[in-house]
Structure 1
Amino acid sequence: MSEINELSPAEQRIWRAFPRGEAVDFRAVGEDPAGADAWGAERTVRASVLRALLLKAPQEEGEIAALALSGARISGVLDLRYATVDTAVRLSHCRFDGAPDLSAARLQELDLSGSALPGLTSAGLRVEGVLRMTDCRMRGPVRLGGAQMSAALVMDRAEFTAVDDSEPVLQLNQAVIGQDVWAPEMRAQGTVRLTGASVAGRINLQDAEFEAPNGLALDAQNLTVGGHVRARCVRARGRVELRGSRIAGRLDLLHARLSNPGDTALRASSCVFGELWVRGGDRIEGALNLRRAQIEILTLEPEMLPEEVHLGNLRYTALAPHEPAERRLPMLERDGGAYEPHSYEQLIGSYRHVGDDDAARVVQLAKERRRRATLAWYGRLWGYVQDATVGYGFRPLRAAVWLLSLVALGAVAYGLRHPRPVKAGEAPDFNPVFYTLDLLLPVVSFGQESAFAPVGWYQWLSYALIITGWILATTIVAGVTRSVSRQ
């Protein structure tokens, strides 16, 4: 018992309570751990004492030992590097003078709820139960890279503030979490890094705030999530980086506010999502990059789209909510000014998926018009002809309008002055309508064109009708062929 005699009264109280797992609470009602500078020796505990307590682990028969301490000021650095602790560690509403070092330690459970720390060094930490940091205030980097948690990571309402911008304020790169990451209303002043992390359950970031002075608010490249990512009402000032991530469920950005003017606000390129919801929030400030992503159901509200959208090789099965094609086409035109045929084909496919063939044809026509701008001058000229006559085959009624208009023109002109017969007495009765049709239709013959020979400007009119008929027929064939091939 000599060790107890060397302890302060507060430390003796904790030492005696530990074998029975009893809680020791020094708190006064409503006090804030951030103001622990005023706490006296009666509630100050040396980190070295806690270390000795956890490693020597005094036991009492028939009891379950645990460190359950609240409202204490912990002086020094709690050093548990490479240690194995078989009891639960609950240090809630405490003030740590130094950043604990738990690198490569093995713990049963760690609860730091409500505590204020100057950081946490825990790379390679293994926790068999829950790691809880509810309402924590971290004023330095939290290093959990490569950590493994068999249960959940809980960080609701936690605050992470960077002392400088030299490293991320929260590091969970390559971490493995066996259940959920629960962090609604979390606040981060600095980069949060989740690169290569794996979460078996869900991630809840509802109402969380990410603000990064260096421009990278959330770095979650190659993140793997077995369930949903709930990021409703999230606010991010800086880039949200999700490149290469895989989310089996839904990435829910309902009512989110993403802002990174002059740069990329959200990059989800090369990702695989079950669903992506981008709706109900303010317009994204900065570019949206979904290149090479694969999404089963894409919920994208036109009002949230920024001026710059990158959709090259994006694949999706369904696009919601159902909007007229005219409201969807602008997002394809914002793709850096480049013509991306695949983006148009995906939009066409999504309309066909819900049976809206009219909208699909509108997108097909827009695609041909966008493609026309990439052609040489003669290709553009021929494109304008096809567009004006039959709408590249997607407006077949235009051909009938042109045909009827030209037939009416020819019938009136030749009805006022009949052309002379080629062979008098052998020509059939002249019919101005069928004579005009003979001129316009390059294949069909009613025997009128060969029997009569107009003169003067009527002859020039016949030449014009013949040429127009060939152009009209060619554009109709080209348009119909294109339309059938798309079907």
Structure 2
Amino acid sequence: MTETEQWVWSAAREGRIANLNKRCATDDLEPAKSDPRWNDSCRVLRGAFITAMLTSKPWQDELPRRVVIIGARVNGSVGLVSQSVNAEVVLRKSEFDAPLILSRAELLGLDLSGSFFEHGIQANSLSVKNDFFLREGAIVRGGVLDLVKVHAGGDVSLSGASIEAGLEADSLQAYRVILNKTTIRGGPIRFVSAEIKGSMVLAGGVFEPEVTSTSPEATLNLDSIKISKILDLRGATVSKGIVWLIGANIGWNVEMDGATSLFGFVADGAQIGGSLIMRSASFAQAPRLDASDIKGNVDISSAKLPGLDLVNSKIGAILRLGSDTREAPRWQNDAVLNLNGTQAKVIQDRSNSSLNGCELSASWPNTLNVQGFSYDQLGARPGNDLRSRDACWYQNWLERDPYFSRQPYQQLARILQAQGDPDRANAVRFAARDRELHEAWRRGDYGTAILLFCLKVTIGYGIGEYTFRVLWWIGAVALIGTLVLVFSRQAEESKRADWRYPVHFNLFWPVWCFGASLDQLLPVVELNKEFTEFFNDPRRERLNSAQHLYFGIQALVGYLLGLALVAALSGVTQAN
């Protein structure tokens, strides 16, 4: 045992802090800076000495509950494999030139804050009863930081550390995991199937996996992780790779305010008990949350997005794309918002008062997929009320989905109707029929297109007040028949002879003609038997053959208009 080691043992046995910086009369030395003072004999310890002090008798029996060594230069490996140390071990602001091996060891606590590990840390299956700290400028290089299956009763904190060869922490268990302002690069970053009873904090961290890849192996992989409280990614930067949360279970919020992920965010099948907050986040690839269940809000206000995929996901509260207090997302020109099969309680956007009533604000990308998208309410924030947009706004919104089906229109119409606005609801239904007409013509189904066109111009597809277009047709056709009769000298002379008060004939003749024309137009209904008998003219004494032909066509038109009206009132024209 060297003189320095004897001094450290004496301090440890007496429960004192073995501060080798003070022993060497120096300030705290910066790790990994090649300072020659690190090699002064007054601070050099052998790894074998630390191993023996912690694990061998009689030293182990004389250890206090806390062993603190600061400012050491440790030569050789410290190996505590499968050893049980009934003490909290603190090795702060020290340098290690060989691996620190803690696999399957048991300790009361472990604090390696501010230390430099030149060849990594192997802590697979390490058990720490309290906290495991590797923070405050700690540096791990030369080998992966292996925390696979680590079990900590308290926090695992790497706050402010620099991990330069990757981090593997699959199946880790801890109360909290704190990686705020941590830098991890040069290898995989994995917490697959980890279980965290509190929160996981990655706020302000910089994460640079070794290889740019769409594979989870070279990314920030949190698949199947279970976090009882918050996953905090606020201000974090993932400059390579994707943040993976497939099958994750997050008890509260996933907070990504200002977070940056170069290759995106994938959380298929995730269960999020609170909200997904992506305000001001920036992504190079479209985040994807297919078949996820988010109990709270999804807030993408001010986010910079190349797209967003929420296929078959459930949002228990608000899908927020801005509001009166939050800016709209910043979509790329080719961005797609995929809401296929998505369910939301409320949708809310931010309108733009400088646009006309038909134009969509920046809240919405140029392309949508709203097939199967369902929601219970339209947002009603002051000045950004989705319930009171112009009918053309709803039409333009739905037309941003290049694929046509009736369901998105029926969904919107149903919500508008339920919120007490049948006029806007009918305008949406009318727009659906219009688009169906255009789609039929575009694909060459001219029969369907012509039928829809006829329904449009005659009875307004049988939708609400649009149905009353048929009255204009009835009036117009009846008026044409009136003109035919008024200008028919043969009809006028035949009726003048029968008129009860000839002095009034010229005054009432046009009125009589309109009634006769209307009687001939309306199917089934007989307004006056006199009109019926007038058109019963087999010898052509009152009308010539051409006039009889016209009124025959008019009667046919009346039947067709009547059938269309009956179909509209019975709902046939709105059936699928």
Code of the aligned partner of 2:344: I
Partner of 1:209: 260
Q: Structure 1: which 5+ residue stretches go unaligned?
A: 260-264
Partner of 2:224: 174
Q: Is the 8 A contact 1:18 1:66 kept in 2?
A: no
Which aligned pairs between 1:258-269 and structure 2 lie closer than 5 A?
258-259=305-306, 265-269=307-311
Deviation at 1:464, TM superposition (A): 3.6
- Larger CA deviation: 466-475 vs 422-431: 422-431
Say whether 1:348 aligns with 2:413. Answer: yes
> Over residues 238-283 of structure 1, what are the superposed CA-to-partner deviations in whole Å (9 max), with x where a residue is unaligned?
0211001111111111121211xxxxx2111111111321231223
Deviation at 1:454, TM superposition (A): 2.1
Alpha-carbon distance in structure 1 between the residues aligned to 2:252 and 2:205: 20
Code of the aligned partner of 2:518: L
Q: Give the alignment partner of residue 120 of structure 2, picking from 56, 68, 77.
A: 77
- Larger CA deviation: 246-255 vs 64-73: 64-73
Partner of 2:284: 237
Deviation at 1:136, TM superposition (A): 0.6
Partner of 1:409: 480
Partner of 2:103: none
Which protein has greater RCO, CA pairs closer than 8 Å, 6+ apart? 1
Q: Give the alignment partner of residue 533 of structure 2, picking from 436, 440, 450.
A: 450
Alpha-carbon distance in structure 1 between the residues aligned to 2:478 and 2:19: 98
CA RMSD of aligned residues (A): 3.6
Partner of 1:89: 132
Identify if the C-alpha distance between structure 1 residues 17 and 313 changes in structure 2 by more than 3 Å, giving closer, same or farther. farther
Partner of 2:396: 330
Alpha-carbon distance in structure 2 between the residues aligned to 1:25 and 1:465: 109
Identify if the C-alpha distance between structure 1 residues 471 and 106 changes in structure 2 by more than 3 Å, giving closer, same or farther. same
Alpha-carbon distance in structure 2 between the residues aligned to 1:324 and 1:47: 76
Deviation at 1:226, TM superposition (A): 0.9
> Over residues 409-431 of structure 1, what are the superposed CA-to-partner deviations in whole Å (9 max), with x where a residue is unaligned?
33233223255399989967761
- Larger CA deviation: 141-150 vs 43-52: 43-52
Q: Is the 8 A contact 2:298 2:320 kept in 1?
A: yes
Q: Structure 2: which 5+ residue stretches go unaligned?
A: 44-70, 89-106, 323-327, 351-359, 380-385, 501-508, 536-541
Which aligned pairs between 1:238-277 and structure 2 lie closer than 5 A?
238-259=285-306, 265-274=307-316, 275-277=318-320
Deviation at 1:84, TM superposition (A): 1.0
Q: Give the alignment partner of residue 267 of structure 2, picking from 220, 233, 241.
A: 220
Say whether 1:310 aligns with 2:393. Answer: no
Q: How many residues align?
A: 464
Which aligned pairs between 1:367-386 and structure 2 lie closer than 5 A?
367-372=432-437, 373-374=439-440, 376-386=445-455
> Over residues 324-348 of structure 1, what are the superposed CA-to-partner deviations in whole Å (9 max), with x where a residue is unaligned?
33212234333333x3222121111
Q: Give the alignment partner of residue 204 of structure 2, picking from 151, 157, 160.
A: 157
Code of the aligned partner of 2:378: L
- Larger CA deviation: 339-348 vs 20-29: 20-29
Identify if the C-alpha distance between structure 1 residues 48 and 356 changes in structure 2 by more than 3 Å, giving closer, same or farther. farther
Code of the aligned partner of 1:137: T
Partner of 1:124: 171
Q: Secondary structure at the match of 2:129?
A: strand
**Percent of aligned pairs with the same amino acid:** 20
Deviation at 1:313, TM superposition (A): 1.8
Say whether 1:278 aligns with 2:321. Answer: yes
Give the structure with the larger strand fraction: 1
Deviation at 1:99, TM superposition (A): 2.4
> Over residues 378-408 of structure 1, what are the superposed CA-to-partner deviations in whole Å (9 max), with x where a residue is unaligned?
3322211110112111203322222222333
Q: Is the 8 A contact 1:19 1:57 kept in 2?
A: no
Partner of 1:100: 145
- TM-score w.r.t. length of structure 2: 0.72
Q: Give the alignment partner of residue 289 of structure 1, picking from 338, 343, 347.
A: 338
Identify if the C-alpha distance between structure 1 residues 256 and 39 changes in structure 2 by more than 3 Å, giving closer, same or farther. farther
Alpha-carbon distance in structure 2 between the residues aligned to 1:345 and 1:229: 28
Alpha-carbon distance in structure 2 between the residues aligned to 1:65 and 1:131: 18
Q: Is the 8 A contact 1:25 1:71 kept in 2?
A: no
Identify if the C-alpha distance between structure 1 residues 476 and 46 changes in structure 2 by more than 3 Å, giving closer, same or farther. farther
Identify if the C-alpha distance between structure 1 residues 156 and 47 changes in structure 2 by more than 3 Å, giving closer, same or farther. farther
Alpha-carbon distance in structure 2 between the residues aligned to 1:291 and 1:24: 63
Partner of 1:262: none
